[in-house]
Structures are given as structure tokens and as C-alpha cells.
Amino acid sequence: MQTFLLRLDDRMEFAAPKPGQMQQIDVVGEGIASVEIALCLQTHFQLQFPKVNVKIRILTGADEIASKLAKNGVEKIWRILHSRGIEILTQMRV
């Protein structure tokens, strides 16, 4: 993840929108790793690019995210992501 963030930062500095403009980041996958990446990216962008408005979405072809967890665990993840403004799009083909 460390080299990924360095490369991402370089790319963002090159292609980042101007302050106030929207930058959309899509994380693809239904597993808990996708949830973790989305949450980490959101925090990273808030710290590294505080003037850039970043919208993060999780896209999955499945009916649910983190479907291998217990139902109450999945519901808690949905609440956390919703409270952080991370959108979840299910049944998506990419």
C-alpha cells in the first residue's frame, strides 16, 4: 500500500482538480479489503489534499458488500460507510 500511495499522490498532483472541484475515486470489489481501501483512501485524501473534494464509491457486482460476514457486521459496515459519505453501488458490472 505504501508504494501505491506514493504513486497515487504523484498522479493526484499531476491530474488533481482545482480546489473545490470534485474528484471521484471508485474502489471495485465486494470484500472487506475494498471497504478498508475506501476508508483508508478517504482519510489519506483528507490529509494530503484537503482542498480537493473527493467522492469515494465502492462498486461491486454482488448483491452485498462483505457478504461473508454476519448480517449485523454487514449492517454496521453500511452505517460506517454511509456516515463517512462513501457510496456503495451493488450489482454493478465494471
Residue 16 confidence (pLDDT): 63
CATH of the domain at 62: 3.50.50.60
Q: How many domains does the chain have?
A: 1
Q: State residue 17's pLDDT score.
A: 65
Examine residue 32 and state whether it is found in any structural domain, yes or no. Answer: yes
Grid look-up 475494498 returns 34
Query: According to the model, what pLDDT value does residue 93 have?
Result: 86
pLDDT tens per residue across span 37-88: 999 999 988 888 888 888 999 999 999 999 889 999 999 999 999 999 999 9
pLDDT band at 1 (very low <50, low <70, confident <90, very high): low
Enter the C-alpha cell of residue 26. 471508485
pTM for the full predicted model? 0.83
Beta bridge partners of 69: none
Structural domain range at position 80: 2-89
One-letter amino acid of 4 = F
Q: Is residue 63 part of a domain?
A: yes
Q: pLDDT band at residue 15, thresholds of 50, 70 and 90? A: low
Q: Which helix (H) or strand (E) is 75 found in, with range? A: helix 71-83
